[in-house]
Structure 1
């Protein structure tokens, strides 16, 4: 399965906006995916990858080869740092445009590209 960076951003925004001290509910996470036409399975896969990368505190539960229960916990400090770079929709559009010709990019490259765009916009380059 392919990691979708729009879904990464949407999920992380949903986690940050949650008023629940243990993170958003499963229906809130599924709704985050649905807002950008992504399936429950794609949300589960993305949550799993965000957990593996240390951006969220909880791992979705897998049973019988499928995502049984979608949980995210909260953002880690690294998760907050990533989201701070990609939160602004203008910066996000510019980041996606800058990376559009590449076949393979990592979350770190996405974050660094967004940070460079932010730095340039405030005259730090």
Structure 2
């Protein structure tokens, strides 16, 4: 899941117009991750797409995914795990659990942090 988080952060940071659609391949410079192969990156990009984290704009190619922006679901997940300390605590508690479990744990960690900082219990 570390690579998924890194890729979501990189995708969010790509500068482009609001209506631009990019083809992102595993070897695209914008999403290069040190120590990871283009095949690993492409595999995880397809999983990010399958999870519904990208706004679907049509078919890519056999070696790239289409990208306009993160979907609401993708942005929400990224916002939950963006903070390094929350991500670290989430991984400690959830280990290598599925996305659904990881997302639930991340939300719980974030809620606990908000409560400790503000005193508000947001459920």
TM value normalised by structure 1 = 0.76
**Aligned counterpart for 1:17 among listed residues 6, 13, 19:** 13
Residue of structure 2 equivalent to 1:43? 41
Residue of structure 1 equivalent to 2:29? 27
What are the Cα deviations for residues 35-72 of structure 1, in whole angstroms up to 9, with x where unaligned? Answer: xx21111110111011111101356521xxxx3x3554
Structure 1: segments with no counterpart, 5+ residues: none
Residue of structure 2 equivalent to 1:116? 108
Please identify the structure whose Cα radius of gyration is greater.
Answer: 2
Structure 2: segments with no counterpart, 5+ residues: 116-120
Residue of structure 1 equivalent to 2:80? 85
CA distance in 2, matches of 1:28, 1:40: 12
After TM superposition, what 4+ stretches of structure 1 lie above 4 angstroms from structure 2? Answer: none
TM value normalised by structure 2 = 0.77
Give the direction of change, closer, same or farther, for the CA distance of 1:71–1:27 in structure 2 (3 Å limit). farther
CA distance in 2, matches of 1:20, 1:39: 25
CA RMSD of aligned residues (A): 2.1
Instruction: Check conservation: 2:52, 2:73, Cα contact below 8 A.
Output: yes
2:99 is the counterpart of 1:107: yes
State how many pairs are aligned: 109
